[in-house]
Structure 1
Amino acid sequence: MVQPARMFFLVAGEVSGDMLAAGLIRELRKRYPEARFVGVTGPRMRAEGCESLADIEALSLFGISEVIGQIPRLLRLRQRLYKDIVRQRPDVFIGIDAPAFNTRLEARVRRAGITTVHYVCPTAWAWRAGRTRGIRRAVDRMLAIFPFEPDFFAAHDIPVTFVGHPLADELPAHPDAAAARDALGLERAARWVGLLPGSRGAEVDRLGPLFLEVARWLVRRDPSVRFVAPMANQRVRARFEAELERFPDVDVELVDGRSREVMRAAEALLVASGTATLEALLAKTPMVVAYELSGTNYWIARSLNLIKTEFVSMPNLLAGRRLVPELLQTDAQVPMLGAWLYRLLHSPAARAEQIDAFEAIHAGLARDADARAAEAVAELMEARS
């Protein structure tokens, strides 16, 4: 008897979710060549043949206050997707990141008798640990990309498989800084510092002036330093250029996109806390991390005591110690940020401490994540067939 073709329903959030989902689709198709893939998609997912019911931009929100304003639209979208899922009865529903949206959808889908997988653990280990109760009701299997996550979720009776991180598989263990400088047209012999104030306009508005003040502080103490900054898009570039006009004494090479090449090319980085810190780690470039939430989001986080971890930057979380300097909110002061950068530029021991740890972390994350994630989904699905 011929078995019907498998069907997978995927809902991804953010650009990173699009990347993860595309790799998963590619590996699942090797196992199930006739399978159908459908869901909320980005360009990479569509390129792998996933049918689109909505664009990933519908879930690309940032910050508590921004999400609140979009709640009615998100509820309508989730209800529409739920009806589609129940009608089409996929073999597996896979939510990729976007936990606030996906875990609630997963809970309803699971109650309807459909197997659910969540790819990328929600950061319940960092804040709002009480969410584990809802997650336990929502998912049949969690796919973790960081090695410290399984123990936390297993302790809350949530089945977890550590698959590793696709970026660690994709990026080289020993990056070539000289080749990156050549590719970007940067002078090889110069001492380059990368400025990465974020990929969103609001982040650049808050951190752009601070990063440029730090650049001014640094170049006054070491005139040999040069600066390069990748711009995520034209809107971000326009905002950063407007800030740069107030710093005629600071020369910054702006690069459209190509942030990973900038990270490899730089001798040190000043980077906004977020996913860029993981990419910087994998580039093996010493870094200083800074961040400043909006006043509303910081007030909410502080008032509700939401943050539960000692560290926020991924290098420190993965190392389990203060490996890289991270200065947040009122601690993110120009002299302190500048002094840390100066030390990374001039102290071989300080540089080596970060780089050696980055190499060890990279090796632990490189596990052929796409294939391992597909294997975990297939095993779960076959066990329930």
Structure 2
Amino acid sequence: MSEKKLRIGIVAGEASGDILAAGLIKQLKKRFPDADFVGIAGSKMLAQGCQSLFDMEELSVMGLVEVLSRIRRLLFVRKSLLNYFLANPIDIFIGVDAPDFNLGLELKLKRKGIPTVQYVSPTVWAWREKRIYKIAKATNLVLSIFPFEKAVYDKHAIPCEFVGHTLADEIELEPNKSATRKALNIQPQDTVLALLPGSRKSEVDSLLDIFVQSAVLLTKDIPHLKILIPVINRQRKNQVESYLAMHPPAVDYRIVIGHARQVMIASDAVLLASGTATLEAMLCKRNMVAAYRLNKLTHLMMKWLYKAKYFALPNVLADEKVIPELLQEDVNPQTIAQLLLPMLKDQNVQQALHEKFMQLHHSLKKDADVQAANAVANLLRQV
């Protein structure tokens, strides 16, 4: 590889990918200080100097049926990116998660001679395992964030490196609950429940009402329960505020923009949408209930397609049910409140999973940003 100024294409599709991509960009800039980064970026990537050609919210859609309703727009965005990258040549492309969007783009770019990296393996171990063959055609390298994934790629002789997860590097092994409470102006004796209904609009629409109703039920046993609702941005804050204005709950709540991790550390238990947030709550060593509601048709299709035993990441990583995971009709205030009550009231229950969460934390703590940047730099040297 010559010493010319690098142009790196990079696309993240949601908040969790924004975190991973921002850490990778930061480390790549140490190796290639003059490099330009362009693609689709969230706020953290933008803060690292990445140019975004579309709003990341365009890609923040979940579910088979839900994607179909947006397919024309998604195809337009992908074609526009492809045309841009070919007209303004890049030296490498990195797709961060969002495999249904990124793999198609990677396939076309690789055919044009541009090396491609898929950062975060698609869940081929859970469903649609035949995607492994498309991944082989579309990528020069897969960067996996979970330790069990590399064996799947090794079996098919597809280049893959396990790099760990940047959240495991960022979050202390023993988060300081008392100091975090002080920073958030929460009293030591307060009982606190964190509500995280998701980063996507559709998730908040689906889960916020049930989550708030669950909190209201809990106040019958815990009258002075404090509710903290962290939101990812101003859009989600407005969405949550609009709901609460129309349905004023009889609970003591506070909305916090950003600081989801601090809110989780300060809490006694967490109620959250299944996704990367469950991984973060696990790393914060907090008991939790994970919930998700899918479009009915999507759920019916997933029942046939999804092969893994669990869907919440702590359970997937542990290969056992360490936290409650609720889906569809089970996501109701009565069930949720029943599961959360002992987590909020009993110190022994709060501590029961600490050792297991600590083991899982160590398994992911691998200096991911550095490892990922090294892998990308090595690939660049080979082309």
Q: TM-score, normalised by structure 1?
A: 0.90
Alpha-carbon shift at residue 152 of structure 1 (Å):
2.1
SS in 2 for 1:289: strand
Alignment correspondent of 1:338: 337
1:250-329 to 2 correspondences below 5 Å = 250-302=251-303, 305-329=304-328
Residue 41 of structure 1 aligns with which residue? 41
Residues 8 and 44 of structure 1: CA distance in aligned 2, closer, same or farther (over 3 Å): same
Q: Contact 1:201–1:239 at 8 Å: present in 2 too?
A: no
8 A contact 2:289–2:339 mirrored in 1:
yes
Alpha-carbon separation, structure 2, partners of 1:57 and 1:335:
33
CA shift at 1:65, angstroms? 3.1
- Distance change >3 Å, CA 54–CA 216, structure 1 → 2: closer
Distance 1:62 1:230 in 2: 20
- RMSD value over aligned CA atoms? 2.3
Once the two structures are superposed, residues 15-72 of structure 1 have per-residue CA deviations (whole angstroms, 9 ceiling, x without a partner) of 2222222222221222222333332233333332333433323322233333223222
Following TM superposition, by how much is the alpha carbon of 1:372 offset from its aligned partner in structure 2, in angstroms?
0.6
Equivalence for 1:235:
238
1:108 counterpart letter in structure 2? K
Residues 291 and 71 of structure 1: is their aligned pair in 2 closer, same or farther, counting only changes over 3 Å? Answer: closer
Q: Name the amino acid aligned to 1:342.
A: L
C-alpha deviations, 1:290-320, integer Å up to 9, x for none?
A: 2222334323433xx1211111111111111
CA distance in 2, matches of 1:34, 1:195: 41
| Matched position secondary structure for 2:188 | coil
Aligned residues: 380
How far off its partner does 1:164 sit? Answer: 1.0
Aligned to 2:101: 101
Query: Which residue number in structure 2 is paired with residue 11 of structure 1?
Result: 11
> In structure 2, do the counterparts of structure 1 residues 179 and 126 end up closer, same or farther at CA, with 3 Å as the change threshold?
same
Q: Secondary structure of the equivalent of 2:357?
A: helix
Report the residue type matching 2:211 in the other structure: F
* Aligned mates of 2:81, 2:320 — CA distance in 1: 41
Deviations 1:231-251 (A, max 9, x none): 343233224414642x43x33
Contact 2:192 2:227 in 1 (8 A): yes
Deviations 1:271-303 (A, max 9, x none): 22112111111111111222222334323433x
**Shift of residue 349, structure 1, vs aligned partner:** 4.1
The 2-side partners of 1:256 and 1:28 are apart by 29
Query: Sequence identity, in percent?
Result: 42
Residue 322 of structure 1 aligns to which amino acid in structure 2?
K
Change (3 A) 1:67 1:187: same
TM-aligned CA distance change 1:79 to 1:254, over 3 Å: closer
Which secondary structure state, in structure 2, belongs to the residue aligned with residue 264 of structure 1?
A: helix
How far residue 145 of structure 1 moved from its aligned partner, in angstroms, is: 1.2
Corresponding residue SS for 2:124:
helix
Cα distance in 1 between the residues matched to 2:167 and 2:380: 26
- Counterparts of 1:112-191 in structure 2, within 5 Å, are 112-191=112-191
The one-letter code matched in structure 1 to 2:275 is: G
TM superposition score normalised by structure 2: 0.91
Q: How far apart in 1 are the matches of 2:245 and 2:295?
A: 20
Distance in 2, Cα, partners of 1:380 & 1:256: 38
- Residues 61, 205 of structure 1: CA spacing in aligned structure 2 closer, same or farther, 3 A cutoff? closer
**Residue 172 of structure 1: how far off its partner (Å):** 1.7
Report if aligned partners of 1:11, 1:41 keep a CA contact under 8 Å in 2: yes
Query: C-alpha displacement at 1:221, in angstroms?
Result: 2.8
Change (3 A) 1:333 1:7: closer
> How far is the alpha carbon of 1:252 from its aligned partner?
2.8
Shift of 1:359: 1.6
